A and B are shown apart, each in its own frame.
Chain A
Amino acid sequence: MKQKRELVGQPHPQCFFSEFPAESDWDAVIIGAGPNGLITAAYLARAGLRVAIVERRYEVGGGLATEEILYPGFYSNMHAIYHLMVDFMPAIKDFDMERHGLVWIKPNLQTAMVFGDGGSLLLTRMIEDTMDSFHKYSDKDAVAFGKLMRNWRRIVSEILAPATYIPAMPPIDLTVAMQRTDIGREMLELVEQSPLDIINNHFENDRIRAFLLYISCMWGLDPRETGIGFYVPLLIDRGMNKCYLHGGSHKLAGALSREIVRAGGTILESSDVIKINRHNGSVTGVELMEGRTLNSDVVISSLDPHTTFFDLMDKNKLPTDLKDSVERWKYDKWSFNTVHVVSKEAPHYACEDQWVDESFMTIFGFESTKQLLAHWDNVVAGKIDKNSLGGHATCESFLDSHLVRKPGHISFFQMHAPYGIDGGWDKRGPEIMEAMLAKWAKAAPNMKRENIVMAKQETPKDIEIRFPNMRRGSIKHGDYTPIQMGCFRPNEACSNHSTPIKGLYLCGASTYPGGLVLGGPGYLAANRVAEDLGVKKWWKPTKEMERYIKTYLT
């Protein structure tokens, strides 16, 4: 590797102190300090590379944001809160996050769905509690769930979860590999079915169907689409194992940023990258809006495809295939509209089973599969029916008293919502917030005006303003469809985290395996860069990954 100049402070001609210089040299520059950018930077910095990571916002973390947007002293998790992959994410083990005082809570009662008649369904960490709640409606479904999860849990822990951190394979190779085991073949059968088919085939009771369908599709699957069915076991199993990070999601970003700095890396916030520099087709660094240049033969972008390839580079100098694929890229089919509230009392649901009040996530507003599907169809069509909406809520302070510094509670109610809503968010926002609060008060009668001290709505447009690379409010930087998943995310040429442009790598949610704080793209990009540069990896695959490699790939 080339010798890099030492970082020398730049004095201002009439000033008492020095600043970070106008030009500096790096082994790798990472664009965007969301979870994936931070993970890539942390691995590479500890591997001995001189790493700089540039973030537009004033604080690192991207969606890992825990901020005071309501009253001072009340913290809301603005974005990511349900950490699905804590059990498997290599970064958590490799960086020994416990050392940083990170503590994840995994409550047994993970998700509840409440109905207008006081009935409820539960999804729990311990399977018997889920089955018990199903027994209220259907013995057959309760038994079926127990049986189904025997293999589905294995499909997740032995295949899908470890594969998240192993480079994408072409479908044909994957199919051949999966033939080796029973659960592999079962997984392949699921792929070809739609979430709706899978749920309907296994369960008879409509409430149970609606419940499991919500959990399977809530992160952006089309319930009727085939080719993505493997997500159903993954999201149900992970839906039983969500974790909450005590002190708020931002703590993970803080810990990762300290890992980067401890290993000699540099973090620059409040800096917009405006250009990826190229010379003779290879990248040579980035330019910041403030006028600084960071030189590096390796640039790793965690941004969405449009920003990386079209905004930061000359679109017309891209290979045609790459340009076409970016133009075809589809953002998430729906975004989220979230109402954050401070209330005097925690939500108390009108429900026979009082345990529901302790649930990490509570779904309400839907009485049937039909109603749920109608809501999603509306959302995809750019509409929201105020009389028939629903979503999920979490009382954050119930799990984490640290988020509130005087008496009161902090919660949110989140619903699937279109980015391009009929009439526009500026106009429709207030009435939709009212409708959501009314719906919440119906499910949890104490969430009335007199209990709510303050409420604030974050629309899909707001998501995009806060986090511009979540274009159209796309929390995953791009839709989950068969042609945008696996080795097609974001396209065949880039899904292995390198690109046709020499020195340019991708590490964000629009690249395999995708979004939702999996930490997959960031980990895989670090691996790819380390391999390409011939840097010795200080880390080893997790034991789940090793088992997967042994079973399916060797």
Chain B
Amino acid sequence: MSRDERYDVVIIGGGPNGMTTAAYLSKCGLSVCVLEERVECGGACETVEPIPGVRIYPHAMLMYASPAPGFEQLELHKYGFRMVWNPEDMMRSLTAGNTTTQGVTRITEKDAMGFAKLGGLLGQPPFTRELMRATFWCPPHPPEVEVTDENTPYMQVYKKYQPDVCTPELRDWTMFELMDEFCESEPFKVTMAFAAWASGAAGHWEGVAIPALLSVQLLILPNTGKLSIPRGGLHGYFHAIHRCAVAHGAVVRTACPVEEIIVQDGRAMGVRLRETAAIGGRKIWANKAVIAAVDYKQTFLKMIGREHLDPSFIQKVKDISLKNGTLYVSTYHTRKPIQWNKKFKAMQESETGVAGPAKVASGGVYPSDSRELYYENVADCDARKSLPTLPPEKLMWFLTPSQAFNPTDCQGRYREGYISAAFEVNVPVPEYQIEGIDAQDKEKAKLDAYMRKAFSQALDGLEDENIIHLWSATGREVEFRNTGLIGGTWCGSRHCRDQSWTRRPMPELARYRTPIEGLYTCHQTTGHPGGLCLMAIPYNLMHILIEDSIAEPGKWWYPSPYYIPQKEKVSAIPR
């Protein structure tokens, strides 16, 4: 007797993209199976308790997704979606100032107003949500449509609400150039450019000024100046998505890695599980579609036989750049709290992070003196691709908002001490690292010491005797935990102009279709807009699945107002 299974749609990978797609498609009435390699779903939306009572978020830790149509369309509130509101945390780091080697510098009114204007907050009414949705929650235009200022979604929004932002250069600019136009102080621009580098689209990249700037704004503005996270972290947000999928009938199989996408006559028919899978190496057949919610390397270089793809396509896949913020993350458990040193008194005084008398330092970019310094960091990381050559005083780092800021969020039951916010440093993609793929792992102790020196430029409390534990993760350790975070990059492939929108990650894959009929991609490395757990790729993919007559959503569905249907396909706009 065959133990094989059959569904309408088989989704490979139970991370945020795979599971959101499962929720959308099962809500359309399709039978869906999600296959997850690990013992629990969630992908990068993960919460762990490495030592009892200490909860940390090894990867995704901040909420970027708030404008997503998914909240409404999938009714996540029904499945337990809750927030932990943290009033004013980000507002204060915006108002307290920039941290430079000279101490705290002021954010000018022009900085704040310019930034707010670009984010759609100053419109009457504010058009933030529409701007965000246009930029991230809209599928790339079909190949036959030439992309112009007139049909670029964010350009259309600005034209409607804030026409003075629209200039002929806007789509060519770097985020630095954009800020040069609208903001004034250098440390502010450098802070935002660096935050963008760590959020997925760097401040110095050509032609991605608006997406880069908005990726930072996603963090701040949609929450109206409150840097808040879901209850239970991003894993809590993921739970609501997971449960929406299950409530609509999706079948979820954990500990079931996929070995092969079965292709017959150029069409994806299903998948074969790895022999170590919990239910053995059986085959799972797909009547309508196989959706690869895993990275492009696994999808095209491992799971599909070479005979099904032509060499030029394979070459392009191999050439996809991963340079997109491989972050070396450190979280400290300390006896006394880590705090801003005397030079940054204003930062320390404005801390709202942790309840109680001793506030833990959080939320900052250091040193934000100049873009020359920023470029020195870029050169070290992405040009030389080496272990750090900069002196620690020059290393730029990003300190996230506090991870343990709300006592009702349960896990802060560690016996003693304080948990720091997460420190993030950009490091080379391990496989590009000139000293070898395992250089960061081999030199981990040295890197930890080096970074500690860098953090100590602005913070007190990182002395040996104050540290109880340090959790740090190299790029490879990130990938090792979460196979889909290839290269340890947080947003997958580079969000540069040549790999974004209708070219993400290459024109052949931009609309989530692949050279294999019936195979679609749905992963931050392979589709617009990329990372940040936005529920955006699944929403965008829905348009395409409707075009291909796979999904037929009910009345709850609405497409992006800026979506352009592909010729001779079913339009995703309901009649």
- A binding-site residues for B, Cβ under 8 Å: 7, 9-10, 12, 14-21, 56-59, 66-69, 71-73, 75, 100-103, 246-248, 250-251, 254, 258, 261-262, 264, 266-272, 288-292, 401-403, 405-406, 426, 458, 461-463, 465-466, 468
Contacts and interface: CB of A to CB of B under 8 A. Distances in A.
Instruction: Tell which of B50, B52, B481 has the most Cβ of chain A within 10 Å.
Output: B52
A402 B255 contact: yes
A267 B66 contact: no
A265 B480 CA distance: 34
Interface in B450-486: 473, 477-478, 480-481, 483
Contacts of A100: 253
B408 interface: yes
Centre residue among B278, B279, B481 by max chain A CB count within 10 A: B278
Nearest to A426: B415
A19 B72 contact: no
Contacts of A16: 66-68, 71, 129, 222
A420 to B, nearest CB: 16
Contacts of B236: 58, 269-270
6 contacts: A20-B82, A57-B410, A72-B477, A262-B247, A288-B408, A402-B255
A248 B255 CA distance: 9
B507 interface: no
B252 interface: yes
B71 A17 contact: yes
A20 B81 CA distance: 6
A264 to B, nearest CB: 7
Contacts of B414: 465
Interface stretch (B195-203, B227-235, B346-354, B564-572): B227-235
A103 B277 CA distance: 10
**Which 5 pairs between the two chains have the least Cβ-Cβ distance?**
A247-B255, A72-B481, A9-B77, A270-B232, A17-B71
A59 B278 contact: no
Given A19-B77, A251-B254, A261-B247, A462 B52 contact: yes
Contacts of B232: 58, 269-270
Contacts of B40: 59, 66, 250, 254
Contact of B224 (A9, A10, A15, A247): A15
Contacts of B409: 270, 290
A10 B77 contact: yes
Contacts of B480: 71-73, 405-406
A246 B246 contact: no
Nearest to B53: A465
Contacts of B50: 69
B411 interface: yes
A270 B483 CA distance: 26
Contacts of A21: 77
A333 B79 CA distance: 40
B52 A264 contact: no
Contacts of B72: 17-18
Contacts of A67: 48-49
A342 to B, nearest CB: 12
Contacts of A292: 82
A268 B71 contact: no
Nearest to B479: A72
Contacts of B71: 16-18
Contacts of B252: 254, 258
Nearest to B481: A72
Interface string B120-139: 00000000010000000000
A75 B39 contact: yes
Q: B interface, how many residues as a size bin?
A: 35 or more
B276 A15 contact: no
A71 B48 CA distance: 12
Nearest to A248: B39
Nearest to A254: B254
Interface string B219-257: 000111000000111011001000100110100111110
B76 A17 contact: yes
Given A58-B55, A69-B50, A251-B39, 14 more contacts: A15-B66, A17-B76, A19-B82, A58-B236, A66-B39, A71-B480, A72-B480, A246-B255, A248-B39, A251-B278, A262-B247, A266-B80, A268-B82, A270-B409
B184 interface: no
A267 B278 contact: no
Nearest to A18: B77
Nearest to B239: A269
Interface string B76-96: 111111111100000000000
A68 B246 contact: no
A270 B80 CA distance: 11
B47 interface: yes
A56 B53 CA distance: 12
B165 to A, nearest CB: 22
A246 B78 contact: no
Contacts of A402: 39, 255, 276-278
Interface string B40-51: 100000011111
B160 interface: no
A312 to B, nearest CB: 15
B473 A72 contact: yes
Nearest to B78: A7
Contacts of A461: 52
B413 interface: yes
B251 to A, nearest CB: 8
Nearest to A78: B49
A466 B53 contact: yes
B75 interface: yes
A465 to B, nearest CB: 4
Contact of B243 (A267, A270, A289): A267
A405 B51 CA distance: 21
Contact of B82 (A103, A246, A290): A290
A20 B415 contact: no
Contacts of B78: 7, 9, 20, 266
A58 B276 contact: no
Contacts of A463: 52
Given A17-B76, A248-B255, A271 B410 contact: yes
Contacts of A103: 278-279
Contacts of B75: 9
A290 to B, nearest CB: 4
Contacts of B55: 58
Nearest to B67: A16
Contacts of B246: 258, 261-262
Contacts of B68: 16-17
Interface in B413-428: 413-415
A253 to B, nearest CB: 9
Contact of A272 (B243, B408, B415, B473): B408
Contact of B39 (A250, A458, A466): A250
Nearest to A268: B80
B160 to A, nearest CB: 19
Contacts of A403: 39
B481 A73 contact: yes
Nearest to A70: B50
B243 A58 contact: no
A58 B249 contact: no
B5 to A, nearest CB: 9
A101 B278 CA distance: 7
Interface in B269-317: 276-279
A102 B246 CA distance: 17
A101 to B, nearest CB: 5
Residue of B72, B233, B247, B256 contacting most chain A CB atoms (<10 Å): B247
A271 B411 CA distance: 10
A246 B276 CA distance: 10
B81 A289 contact: no
Contacts of A14: 224
Nearest to B411: A58
A72 B50 CA distance: 10
B385 to A, nearest CB: 23
A57 B409 CA distance: 9
B56 to A, nearest CB: 11
A243 B20 CA distance: 34
